[in-house]
């Protein structure tokens, strides 16, 4: 291969093979993606780029490859959601509160990918502290911008990319990076993957270490990869997952796995459960048609469709926004202007500094969730709201286990609609919350889930959500892989990209 013009079409697996065969160098690959990121700054995907750091890592990768025995991801460029702390790039979590902050250590996910040979392209935009469904809540200017602007969907730059990992989804969809990390608290990998036509997976809660991930809701936050295909995600997941007991108490004591090991298995006899609550009212007709076509394709591959029920699906929205807000109010109390991050320039005393720092440093959505969380944890309301939400959360998890008695994989839309127009939900935050209705249940249950490109509604991508039982990532990825071998939705790219 000549260095470069089609590198962004290869994906992680293809680029890995080209690098191992010395058809292209890691330095050439890094230069190619950095150039694309520079040329497409108007999308607002990147919050930080440092070409000297990236090219130095690429040269190191080239040396590892030349020496022989390099890992599979050696030289593959990856960009990180700006929720993971990094020593070589600033970490802002999309918030003015952390503007200019540089961590003294790397997040475990970042470190593990670096150990696997990946080259860091930069940091990607996200909703402030990962709170949002559209990537419109970012308060930090993107690379090349003078002020903060929403990230734009490359399929239609007048529409949102989804959130909170919108920058990650856009970077992959627009060919600015072959892969990106994201985080999923209530659907923040799966929903933007659906809106931007890429593949993204949230593993079982605890599979990937949360160490160095700026916390939003600790019992829900989980890291995962976003890439072009299920095969790409399987390679990335194998590198970034694994136990981290000394740094993350919620990290599961399970060894790293080869998530590619089932790729190629037949789907003959696979039982695909379709919850009746996922295909009823509220789902856009074009989305429903794409999902039905995808399910028909699975039947051609030998799978069998089974109707199941997740009766508490609607309750997942109030349950999530009580529990997540409660944990956010606790986690974000550390941002007070004392030890790090933003501090109000003028104040009278310590209490005034706290108040002004948090008033000026946090955006509206973050303040909204902190206030809700503080309220539901307050005396007299803890039992009425927080404790009841925890009980219903357990019931939602039980609903999944009941469904998995009759099926192997659960399928349905990742979101009820395609991406909406920028600013369309500006005065109605609840509309954003409702867009998460199909991703929230799996997050509350801690189950692995992914979004796979499955067609279009008009000109906008539609994502098929696949949910597996605990620790079923390898078979879940194979279900996605077989679908992608039979279709080409994941190979479609936005016009002009």
pLDDT per residue as tens, the chain (497 positions): 344 568 999 999 999 999 999 999 999 999 999 999 999 999 999 999 999 999 999 999 999 999 999 999 999 999 999 999 999 999 999 999 998 899 999 999 999 999 999 999 999 999 999 999 999 999 999 999 999 999 999 999 999 999 999 999 999 999 999 999 999 999 999 999 999 999 999 999 999 999 999 999 999 999 999 999 999 999 999 999 999 999 999 999 998 899 999 999 999 999 999 999 999 889 999 999 999 999 999 999 999 999 999 999 999 999 999 999 999 999 999 999 999 899 999 999 999 999 999 999 999 999 999 999 999 999 999 999 999 999 999 999 999 999 999 999 999 999 999 999 999 987 788 888 889 999 999 999 999 999 999 999 999 999 999 999 999 999 999 999 999 999 999 999 999 88
Write down the pLDDT at residue 6: 85
Q: Which of 103, 125, 133, 188 is catalytic?
A: 188
From the number of C-beta atoms within 10 Å of its C-beta (0-12, 13-18, 19+), residue 64 rates as middle
Q: Is 451 a catalytic residue?
A: no
Write down the pLDDT at residue 4: 58
Helices and strands, number each (H, E), in the chain: 15, 11
What region does 71 belong to: left with phi over 0, alpha with psi -120 to 50, or beta? beta
Class of CATH domain 7-240: alpha beta
For residues 250 and 206, the answer to whether their CB atoms sit within 8 Å is yes
Instruction: Identify each DSSP E strand in 296-441 by its residue range.
Output: 304-308, 409-413
What are the backbone angles phi and psi of residue 408, rounded to the nearest 5°? Answer: -100, -35
* Beta-carbon contacts of residue 266 (< 8 Å; ≥ 6 apart): 302
Q: From the CB of residue 495, how many other CB atoms can be counted at a distance below 10 Å?
A: 8
Q: Which of 16, 125, 133, 164 is catalytic?
A: 164
Write down the pLDDT at residue 1: 38
What are the backbone angles phi and psi of residue 262, rounded to the nearest 5°? Answer: -100, -5
Q: What is the rounded CA–CA span in Å between residue 185 and residue 215?
A: 10
Helix (H) / strand (E) element for 465: namely strand 460-467
Spell out the domain ranges in the chain.
Answer: 7-240
What are the backbone angles phi and psi of residue 242, rounded to the nearest 5°? Answer: 135, 160
Q: What is the rounded CA–CA span in Å between residue 267 and residue 452?
A: 16
* Beta-carbon contacts of residue 460 (< 8 Å; ≥ 6 apart): 153, 155, 156, 159, 195, 418, 419
* Beta-carbon contacts of residue 17 (< 8 Å; ≥ 6 apart): none
This prediction has a pTM of 0.96
Q: Is 367 a catalytic residue?
A: no
Q: Which of 16, 81, 123, 125 is catalytic?
A: 81
From the number of C-beta atoms within 10 Å of its C-beta (0-12, 13-18, 19+), residue 344 rates as middle
- Alpha carbon dihedral 298, 301, 306, 309, in 10-degree steps, equals -30
Q: What is the rounded CA–CA span in Å between residue 31 and residue 25?
A: 10
Write down the pLDDT at residue 177: 98
Q: Is 391 a catalytic residue?
A: no
For residues 127 and 163, the answer to whether their CB atoms sit within 8 Å is yes
């Amino acid at each position: 291969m000549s260095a470069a013009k089609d590198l962004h079409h290869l994906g992680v697996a293809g680029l890995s093979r080209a690098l191992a065969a010395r058809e292209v160098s890691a330095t050439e690959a890094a230069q190619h993606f950095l150039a694309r990121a520079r040329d497409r700054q108007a999308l607002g995907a990147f919050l930080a780029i440092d070409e000297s750091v990236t090219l130095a890592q690429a040269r190191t990768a080239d040396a590892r490859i030349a020496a022989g025995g390099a890992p599979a991801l050696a030289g593959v460029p990856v960009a990180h959601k700006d929720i993971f702390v990094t020593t070589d790039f600033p970490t802002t979590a999309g918030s003015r509160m952390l503007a200019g902050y540089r961590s003294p250590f790397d997040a475990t996910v970042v470190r593990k990918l670096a150990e696997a040979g990946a080259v860091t392209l930069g940091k990607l935009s996200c909703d402030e502290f990962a709170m949002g469904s559209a990537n419109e809540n970012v308060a930090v200017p993107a690379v090349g911008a003078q002020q903060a602007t929403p990230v734009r969907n490359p399929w239609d730059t007048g529409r949102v990319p989804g959130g909170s990992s919108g920058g990650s989804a856009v970077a992959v969809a627009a060919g600015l990076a072959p892969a990106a990390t994201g985080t999923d608290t209530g659907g923040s990998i799966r929903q933007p993957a659906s809106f931007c036509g890429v593949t993204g997976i949230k593993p079982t809660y605890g599979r990937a270490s949360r160490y160095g991930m700026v916390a939003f809701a600790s019992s829900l936050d989980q890291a995962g990869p976003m890439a072009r295909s299920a095969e790409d995600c399987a390679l990335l997941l194998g590198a970034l997952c694994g136990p981290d007991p000394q740094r993350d108490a919620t990290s599961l004591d399970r060894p790293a796995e080869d998530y590619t090991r089932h790729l190629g298995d037949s789907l003959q006899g696979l039982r695909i459960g379709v919850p009746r609550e996922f295909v009823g009212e509220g789902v856009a007709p074009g989305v429903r048609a794409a999902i039905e076509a995808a399910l028909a394709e699975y039947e051609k591959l030998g799978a069998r469709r089974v109707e199941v029920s997740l009766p508490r699906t609607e309750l997942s929205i109030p349950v999530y926004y009580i529990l997540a807000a409660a944990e956010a109010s606790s986690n974000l109390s550390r941002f007070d202007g004392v030890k790090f991050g933003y501090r109000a320039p003028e104040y009278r005393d310590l209490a005034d500094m706290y108040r002004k720092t948090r008033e000026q440093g946090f955006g509206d959505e973050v303040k909204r969730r902190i206030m809700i969380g503080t309220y539901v944890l307050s005396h007299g309301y803890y039992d009425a709201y927080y404790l009841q939400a925890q009980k219903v959360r357990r019931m939602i998890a039980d609903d999944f286990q009941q469904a998995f008695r009759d099926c192997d994989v659960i399928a349905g839309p990742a979101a009820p609609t395609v991406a909406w127009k920028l600013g369309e939900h500006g005065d109605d935050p609840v509309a954003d919350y409702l867009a998460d209705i199909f991703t929230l249940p799996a997050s509350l249950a801690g189950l692995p889930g992914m979004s796979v490109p499955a067609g279009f509604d008009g000109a906008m991508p539609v994502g098929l959500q696949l949910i597996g039982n605990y620790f079923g990532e390898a078979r879940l990825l194979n279900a996605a892989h077989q679908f992608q071998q039979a279709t080409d939705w994941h190979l479609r790219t936005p016009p002009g990209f």
